[in-house]
Structure 1
Amino acid sequence: MTVLVVSGTGTEIGKTVTTAAVAALAVAAGRSVAVLKPAQTGVAPGEPGDAQEVVRLAGDAVTTLELARFPEPLAPNTAARRAGMTPIRPHEVADAAEKLAAEHDLVLIEGAGGLLVRYDDEGATLADAARLLSAPVLVVASAGLGTLNTTTLTAEALRARELTPLGVTVGSWPTAPDLASRCNLADLPQSAGANLLGAIPAGAGTLSGTDFRTRAGSWLGPELGGEWDAAAFTAREAPGAREA
């Protein structure tokens, strides 16, 4: 795996923190890592964006590249249009990823919002860039009510485009998960048609970089370089475990 696309089932569900955790584990394993952010929205010039947050958490060894920055917190095509700026095209994302892949062992592409958020007025999406690269996609999902539907829709959209979901992670696992969240652990793999590969605890993004890198392996499974055990975590957090 040289290029991995990280896509959420929506916004504000832990894509950046998940990307940082994957990057941190790859660096710890001796791999060179680059993170590509095709379109950063809602951040002013000079302010740190998602790519800079990945570096803060995963460490300075990570190379970052941001292709475009649009000031308003909107879908990339809408933000570009309102700012009078040129939108990002899928071939630009693919070209940038291929150049980074020539010099790095792993390239992580972090999307904006969900998989089918539009990058231009022609309807191009992150999925189109993934298709150009024939890259697997890591789906980051929320924990609670509604996540089974959005995860299923994302997985179906991937397969309709002949893309492979590498697996699904929970981007922010609550400190005190409700019943829906606990039940969803068992159901998410079925909705995604792929394995559950991790659960990032809520608040992980507030840790110092040192603490984040020390703990990242306990949040992600072996497929992503960690030691997190999906079966053990699900057994511990599932409804029956807490009532026993």
Structure 2
Amino acid sequence: MKLPAITYVTGTDTDVGKTITTAALAAALLAGGATVAVYKPTQTGVAPDGHGDMDEAVRLCGVATVREGVRLLHPMAPAAAALRENRTLPKLADHVAHIADLAQGHDHVLVEGAGGLLVELDDAGHTIADLAAATPGGVRPGIVVTCRSGLGTLNHTLLTLEALQHRGLPAPALVVGSWPAAPSDIDLSNRDSLRAWGKPFLGSIPEGAALLDPRDFQRLAPQWLDLPHRT
């Protein structure tokens, strides 16, 4: 699958592997010779000088251009975290402007959401789905949904797909964000189902991928994900 110029990485829930998926996508694109920027509209649960998702993406994939819309201390949904700090969240238009700016100088912009598809990013209740619908420049966005492998993932993934379809957004590609070293029958059956749904299935990222040496992560990422690579 060829990723569109602006691609949103969301998940069926929190802690499903969105950051690792984003880093692996970036590494695979970089390995193919593309220029890549990564944007995180809202980062919660990290101190101002702490190690956030974008720091992890830089460490693993070596992407040079990353940007955050806002960073908040409490590990909560953005609206709740901002309320605790008496902070004002960036508006949807602010995020669109950041993405448009990054898109001008890069072949690909990867936008990593917070939590699941419908987690609110601002005080007006806009979500990553709304941000995808507002993609600048008339570009038809790409969407990658990061899924779990275990019990419950089929329901959660179908709910996310239904929400995307209801909003008229493009059909997403699917990635398993953490594939166990010793998969159970449930894991294997779920992966077979995800592959059979007719959506692009990009691959599975092995559990513990974040523990790899960054050089190994960058070398292996193109093998985990089914993306075209330049020669």
TM-score by structure 2 length? 0.92
Please identify runs of 4+ aligned residues in structure 1 that moved more than 3 A.
none
Larger CA deviation: 129-138 vs 88-97: 88-97
- 1:171 match: secondary structure: strand
More relative contact order in 1 or in 2 (CA 8 Å, sep 6+)?
2
For structure 2, list consecutive stretches of 5 or more residues without a partner in the other structure.
none
Query: What percentage of residue pairs aligned between the two structures are identical?
Result: 45
SS in 2 for 1:85: coil
Letter in 2 for 1:19: T
How far apart are residue 89 of structure 1 and its match? 2.4
Query: Contact between 2:26 and 2:36, CA under 8 Å: does it hold in 1?
Result: yes
Per-residue deviation at 1:166? 3.1
From 1, 4, 7, the counterpart of 1:4: 7
| Secondary structure at the counterpart of residue 23 of structure 2 | helix
Amino acid in the other structure paired with 1:7: T
Q: Name the CA distance, whole Å, in 2 between partners of 1:105 and 1:174.
A: 32
Any conservation in 2 of the 1:38–1:109 contact (CA below 8 Å)? yes
Map of 1:146 onto structure 2: 152
Match of 1:35 among 34, 38, 48: 38
- CA drift at 1:189: 3.8
Take 1:171 and 1:85, find their aligned partners in 2: how far apart are those partners? 31
TM-score by length of 1: 0.88
CA distance in 1, matches of 2:163, 2:93: 20
Aligned to 2:192, the other structure's residue is in SS state helix
Are residues 137 and 104 of structure 1, via their aligned partners in 2, closer, same or farther at CA, if it must alter by over 3 Å? same
For structure 1, the residue ranges without an aligned partner over 5 or more in a row are 227-244
Choose which of 67, 92, 96 in structure 2 pairs with 1:94. 96
Structure having the higher strand fraction is: 1
Counting matched residue pairs gives: 223
Partner of 1:163: 169
2:208 to 203, 214, 220: 203
Give the aligned CA root-mean-square deviation in angstroms: 1.5
More helix by share: 1
- 8 Å contact 1:7–1:138 — kept in the other structure? yes
